Amino acid sequence: MQISRNKQVITIGSITEDLIFLAQESRILPGHSALCEKLMAFELGGKIPVGKIKTSIGGAGANVAVGLSKLGVGCRANVAVGGDDIGKKQRRNLQKLGVDVSLCQIVHDCETDRSVILVDPAGRDRVIFYNRDAGRKLKLKDISQWKTEWVFISSLTEGWENKLGQILKLRKERGTKVAWNPGRLQLKAGIKFLSPLLAELSILFLNWDEALELALSDRGFAEKYHQKAPAKKTVLKFLQSYGPKIVVVTFGRRGSIATNGYAYVKAPILSPRRVELTGAGDAYASGFLASWIRSPENLKKAMAWGMANSGSAVLYFGAEKGLLTLPQMRRKVNSVIMDALIEESRL
């Protein structure tokens, strides 16, 4: 059965032009904390060849919208572009990929956001340098009129506190379901400040560093684990105690884990080969959410779709090229993959 395109999702977040290249002659050095495990270094004053520079659409607001659209979910992207040629191109790209751009804002006195992404040739992990110009001016366009089943929120910048308040109001007044991957500014604010929205979430998406940072922002939790790192299950259980129905945490090469409060599910990676990791988390989120809309409450299937989508995305440079279509997803997620997911008892 095809996912109904009437089941709309509005994604809120960034759209960027990504410039991606292999960071030749880089050195990977040990970091200084659990939240900064490795560093990428270069010779100061050196001139370093990079080979071909790839260009791709990026930004979580755009990436998740494209991922959902390719999987048959009708989607609008509430993103902001500048009044430049890059902005025009990015709007056209979204339309070509099936995303409704009626909520895409043009900020004429700003430039479209851009990112420069350095990829480690060995491990294929990356460092992202980004600027936010048009993205800083993003508004929740006509939010009081939104009629949508789901809202997906990614990283927010200027005025993000007010935006979260508007989304919380939409959730309470219209019953809109909310999925969220908090950004740097939101994580820095801490779990107590974010608790009103966390209590209303349907799905909370985080990578392990984000999950750990959010949990440790609680003073009591941090004091309890100041000498030893908490176990993964402990972090999931603590985050869910703030109210999200589903908590999903990704670990890159080590797969992902999720809980609905009853089952605890572990999923392996589905692609041992990696070309470049930009957008892997967004691909996971769009795959997971598309499956959840199609098969509510089927946690194992949603994780399989998330892992399949992210496993395909990392086989290509850029966030969009490897995203699966619905027929491709159906072929990829079979009984063998489903059997690879391990469901454990209640937390």
DSSP assignment letter at 182? -
Domain ranges of the chain: 9-247
- Is the pLDDT at 132 greater than 80, yes or no? yes
* Under 8 Å between Cβ of 17 and 53: no
- Is the pLDDT at 69 greater than 90, yes or no? yes
- Give the start-end residues of each E strand in 226-293: 246-250, 256-259, 264-267
Which of the residue ranges 8-17, 242-251, 252-261 would you say has the lowest mean pLDDT?
Answer: 252-261
Angle at 79 between CA 142 and CA 190, to 5 degrees: 90
- Is the pLDDT at 318 greater than 80, yes or no? no
What is d(CA 135, CA 90) in angstroms, rounded to the nearest whole number? 13
Per-residue model confidence as pLDDT tens digits over 268-304: 877 667 776 777 899 999 999 999 999 999 999 999 9
pLDDT value, residue 228: 86
Q: Among candidates 340, 314, 311, 308, which has minimal Cα distance to 327?
A: 308
In CATH, the architecture of 9-247 is 3-Layer(aba) Sandwich (3.40)
Across the range 53-76, mean pLDDT stands at 93
Stated pTM of the model: 0.90
Per-residue model confidence as pLDDT tens digits over 175-226: 999 999 999 999 999 999 999 999 999 999 999 999 999 999 999 999 999 8
- Is the pLDDT at 22 greater than 90, yes or no? no
What is d(CA 168, CA 304) in angstroms, rounded to the nearest whole number? 29
pLDDT value, residue 211: 97
pLDDT value, residue 2: 41
**CA separation (Å) from 330 to 291, 298, 309?**
11, 15, 11
Only one residue has tokens 């993003």, namely 138
What residues have CB less than 8 Å from 56, skipping those under 6 apart?
17, 18, 20, 278, 317, 318, 319, 320, 321
